[in-house]
Structures are given as structure tokens and as C-alpha cells.
A = this chain, B = another copy of it.
């Protein structure tokens, strides 16, 4: 197995204040894994043996209800830590992480967390910043689901994905990973039927173009209007 290059981590916030040697140390303790689209990195309730960093790809963090329905709590983009139950003194993962696209993940055993925060300048600070942002984001989503109409929620969800992973094409901005109508309904607490109708309507209005598992937003400003933000 080839050695990982230090440059993989050096640009990322939790590691930005560390020198080459320190990053080397950290990398040498990591396990690297590749996941196919749709695989679970860990699942809800499972013992939190590791904490992780997404190097490449995309993840959905998902909770499943007793009744079998599921909702997508948030998405993880490359460069972000996830499954950091250890940071919050939990011993099980509170949600399931499933890849939205083929992904590369670094993992460290949970017990190393304490050492990382103690030894590495800025690691704790930046990690807790991430936790804070995520908490804020979940609160936003929750407020949105509780107060906004379905169309606004769906618009907001699409915009969130565009902001996290959008890449320019000639037609507009494209979401950088596969998304189904069902996925969007799981993000917004609605049904795939409603999402499908919504996208059809938007397509008729020239706001989006979409094919199977694939969405291009051609008029982002109009979506922003719809979302009411």
C-alpha cells in the first residue's frame, strides 16, 4: 500500500497549523478506505470505534425512524471530519453515514481523538468549529421544515446541494453527485411524488434541467426567490 502524501491534509482547517512531520504522524495512523456509491461507512447505534475524514466523494448522514422512514440530516463534503462521536463523548454513532458517490475515507481509532486535540495546535478548535456549524445548520433545516411550505423547502434543499457541490456547466450549475427524487424528499420530509411534480414544474419554467439522478440548476436566482431566503 502506497504512502499517503502530506498534501492531502495540509490544506484542511483542522490540520492547517501543523508542520509536515506532524501531518506525517497523523497520516501514518490512519486507515484509508474506498467506498462504492450507496455503501455505509458506519451506521446508527454502532459502536463508534473510529472518527473519519472524507477525502473525496460525498456522504449523506441519515437517520431512520422506528416506522422505517428516513431523513437525511446533512451532507458531508470532501475535507470534512465526520463520525466524530468521540469528540462529543458518545460511544455510538448517532446516525448512519452512506456514500452519495464513490468516496475515499480516512479513519482513525476513536481513542486517538484525545491525543490529537492535546498535541496538535488548532485541531480541537477547528473541529469544534465544525461541530458548531453543523449544529447551526441542523437547526436551520429543522426551522425550515417546521415553518416553510414544501416548495420552499425543496428549493432550499436543492440550493444547499448546489452550494456544497455545484460545478459550472454550459447549461447552469450541476449538483456534483447523484440525487434521486426520493433523496430530496428525505431531506425535506415530503414524498418523492411531490418532489417529482415540483421539479417538472420548475423544468417547464426553465429553472432546472434534470435527468435521472442528475440535476442542473439553470436559474439559481429564481430558486432563491422560491426558497424565500
Verify if A206 is at the interface (C-beta below 8 Å from B): no
Chain A interface residue count, CB cutoff 8 Å, equals 36
8 A Cβ contacts from A34-74 to B:
63, 65-67, 69, 71, 73
Chain A at the B interface: SS class: helix
Among A134, A141, A189, residue most surrounded by chain B Cβ atoms (within 10 Å): A189
Closest-CB distance, A172 to chain B (whole angstroms):
26
Contact status A147-B89, CB under 8 Å: no
Verify if A90 is at the interface (C-beta below 8 Å from B): yes
Verify if A178 is at the interface (C-beta below 8 Å from B): no
Number of copies: 2
User: Of the 9-residue stretches A99-107, A124-132, A195-203, which lies at the interface with chain B?
Assistant: A124-132
For residue A90, which residues in chain B have a CB less than 8 angstroms away from its CB? 129, 132, 136
Contact status B189-A136, CB under 8 Å: no
Contact bitstring A85-125, B, C-beta under 8 A = 1, else 0 = 10111100011000000000000000000000000000001
For residue A189, which residues in chain B have a CB less than 8 angstroms away from its CB? 145-147
Verify if A229 is at the interface (C-beta below 8 Å from B): yes
Closest B residue by C-beta to A88 = B132
Verify if A224 is at the interface (C-beta below 8 Å from B): no
Contact status A141-B142, CB under 8 Å: yes
